[in-house]
Structure 1
Amino acid sequence: MTTIEEFAAGFGEEPGYLDYGRVGPLSAAARAETLGQYEILSKARFGTIERMRAEDERVREAVGALTGFAADQVVFQPNASSGLLHAAFGLTGGEVLLSLAEFPSLTYAAERAAHALRVITPTWLETDHGRVTPARIREQLTESTAAVMVSLVDSRTGYLADIDGIRQVIGDRLLVVDAIQGFGVVDAPWEVADVVVSGGQKWMRAGWGTGFLALSERAIDHLTPVFSGWTGSGPDQPWDEVRDPVHGAAAFSISNPDLVAEARFAAALEEVAAVGVETVAAAVADNAERVIQLADEFAVPVSSSRSPNERAGIVVLEPLPEQLTALGASLFNHGVSASVRATSVRISVHAGTTEETFDMLRAAFTSYASVA
């Protein structure tokens, strides 16, 4: 096992970085794995290229260790959007209930699938002030609802969805979870989901080009692998014939994966498994609470949830419209990286957020308070 202090030592970014919801700078483990794999690829010593193919099984097992899905229920993806498109296009009929306020990866997947195949109908959920809750879903379910799509953590509000509660109200309908804003920092009950999709470039700190699609046995039985390439037809190269997709998550593969990206993602996954998601989640929760306390101290309005069971690493600040520019400028002038949007500022902390970073945030808030 790894201690949280050892895990935090793998954060190499400059002080002031508070934008993990956008992208997580590479961890030391992911960086070392990348350099090592590219060294192997550049030398191409006899037998080493073939051995790199073991990275596919390694990354699938590493995803399984964090989610509880078997390795053969997991397929590597280059990003979360690709996995969501696989899931949406794989649905075979009925209404798909989701919020139009979800991150576009979800809404576009549903809408594109509906327009292309004409077998599903996106139904836009009326949320509770942007929050997708079991109660709102229960109110808007119909007999035609075949699937529900939801973000584990909403990228705009920071709200942590109650996917266990959602499962209880939707019954045996398919539950598709976009986990990217919480994967690795939320100890979620993944077993209640039929489809779990995530990229590795945010909270996992594994860089772009990494992700996965995990499918329950029920999802494997119900989803059609529309985009299934030759690698989705089995382990052997299918020369001189065109085979049907295999029965399993591997069917949702298009071509050979980026083996270096798989190794990089596997290293990041293994690092989180070594310390424990629950330990990382606790550290992230403590740091999010510190941001909220700082905001309160300087009268910066917090619009995201203050309840620990309704948030992960995202804290959303929403000053008056006429004061937003001043807040953004104060953060910029003090070297604090955050996502400044049309009406709010999104701060996202991680387990490795340093005291120096909190000092920089305090200085930015001090500057803001002097002019607000």
Structure 2
Amino acid sequence: MTTTIDEFARTFTEESGYLDYGRVGPISATALAETLGQYEILAKARFGSIGRMQAEDQRVRDAVSALTRFPSDQVVFQPTASIGLMHAAFGLTGGEVLLSAAEFPSITYAAVRASQAMRVVTPTWLETDHQRVTPARIREQLTPNTTAVMVSLVDSRTGYLADIDGIRQVIGDRLLIVDAIQGFGVVDAPFEVADIVVSGGQKWTRAGWGTGFLAASERAIEHLTPVFSGWTGADLDGSWDEVGEPSNSTRAFSISNPDPIAQARFAAALEDIAAVGVPAISTAIGDGVERVFELADEYAIPVASSRNAAERAGMVVLEPLPEQLTALSASLFNHGITASIRATNVRLSVHAGTTEETFDMLRGAFTSYASAS
């Protein structure tokens, strides 16, 4: 069913002033309704109803497939993006993995812990272009021993949107592992060029915690070793009498039965996104980001994130002078603006459902800040 961007915006029920989707996206009205309905089924436990909840696994894999363009049988549900990254990093079978030390810790910890435990892969730290992971910098630092590259689709510190198509072109047949959590559902990225794509559903897709996925290319399935592979990842059709080998599919990256209610919640949120279309959502977010730029410029607040539409998603990083950061943070707080306050900057995250009242509140905060400064 196709919906409009205005209909999609009505699934946002959070109070005005919320600009922190890069940290957590308040659960959508659709995902909330799905959760309540599923818990009602679990509470009643009518004959046959519990068994039918297992169908949510195929539903959520179909929903992920529609947005990533990976076949649904190459998708496996994960409770977090971090667990998906651990599966990918521990599955690497040798060589060097190239990544930035400035990546979100889910990536760096996965690479280092895999190196420490398995002793078959070595993290190599990329020298970035002002924390931006670019194809040019990767090309300069590739070596014959580089077997994989790990990168965030959207950098959580700078809001920079990585050119994963360009990265694919420069790395050739090396494995490309993408943490998509800061852009999945709102950036129309060419996910199909990656070998591994992971994401969680608690941020921009607004599906709440405990939701996520790992999607793998056929080449990744062939080359990665499923180190953490439980009984649900074996091709034994439920037999308990032997321990089988991991499946020759993405299902091998499964440890136990997933939470079907979390799967239903995630699927419902993704179905909403597919109904309106990622390009429409991306356009609406882009318009909101431009409005934040205009307000920041009006009140002479320096913007550290890229203004180039090809290099950004939904996050705007403001970086006032160090002595003015406290005043800006206090003004945002006093005007009811929820944002991520860091040691040197403020990160605002705009979504397709950000309201006029929220922009008015942001203007009020900037006015107070300018007066105090």
RMSD: 0.6
Residue equivalent to 1:301:
302
Residue equivalent to 2:215:
214
Identical columns (%): 78
CA displacement 1:198-237 (0-9 Å, x = unmatched) = 0000000000000000000000000000000000003722
Contact kept? 2:236, 2:244, Cα under 8 Å:
no
Residues of 2 paired with 1:137 and 1:289: CA distance?
30
Residues of 2 paired with 1:15 and 1:127: CA distance?
36
Residue equivalent to 2:66:
65
Residues of 1 paired with 2:144 and 2:85: CA distance?
24
- Residue identity in the other structure for 1:191: E
Residue equivalent to 1:311:
312
Residue equivalent to 1:331:
332
Contact kept? 2:41, 2:49, Cα under 8 Å:
yes
Contact kept? 1:230, 1:238, Cα under 8 Å:
no
Residue equivalent to 1:231:
232
Contact kept? 2:235, 2:245, Cα under 8 Å:
no
Residue equivalent to 1:110:
111
- Give matches, 1:87-126, under 5 Å: 87-126=88-127
Residues of 1 paired with 2:301 and 2:294: CA distance?
10
Q: Secondary structure at the match of 2:136?
A: helix
Residue equivalent to 1:150:
151
Residues of 1 paired with 2:162 and 2:180: CA distance?
10
Figure out how many residues of one structure are paired with residues of the other and give that number.
372
- Residue identity in the other structure for 1:312: A
Q: Secondary structure at the match of 2:219?
A: helix
1:47 aligns with 2:45: no
CA displacement 1:265-297 (0-9 Å, x = unmatched) = 000000000000011011011101111111000
Q: Secondary structure at the match of 2:205?
A: coil
Question: Where has structure 1 moved over 3 Å in runs of 4 or more?
Answer: none
Residues of 1 paired with 2:306 and 2:89: CA distance?
30
Contact kept? 1:53, 1:259, Cα under 8 Å:
yes
- Residue identity in the other structure for 2:206: R
- When the two structures are superposed, what TM-score results if normalisation uses the length of structure 2? 0.99
- Residue identity in the other structure for 2:332: L
- Residue identity in the other structure for 2:247: V
1:183 aligns with 2:184: yes
- When the two structures are superposed, what TM-score results if normalisation uses the length of structure 1? 1.00
- Residue identity in the other structure for 2:372: V
- Residue identity in the other structure for 1:213: L
Q: Secondary structure at the match of 2:326?
A: helix
Cα 1:363–1:138 change in 2 (3 A) is same
Tell me how far 1:371 sits from its aligned partner.
1.3
Q: Secondary structure at the match of 2:123?
A: strand
- Give matches, 1:1-372, under 5 Å: 1-234=2-235, 236-372=237-373
Residues of 2 paired with 1:238 and 1:209: CA distance?
28
Q: Secondary structure at the match of 1:295?
A: helix
Gaps of 5+ in 2: none
Tell me how far 1:238 sits from its aligned partner.
2.5
- Residue identity in the other structure for 1:261: A
Residues of 2 paired with 1:290 and 1:185: CA distance?
18
Q: Secondary structure at the match of 1:356?
A: helix
Residues of 1 paired with 2:160 and 2:259: CA distance?
33
Residues of 2 paired with 1:333 and 1:234: CA distance?
57
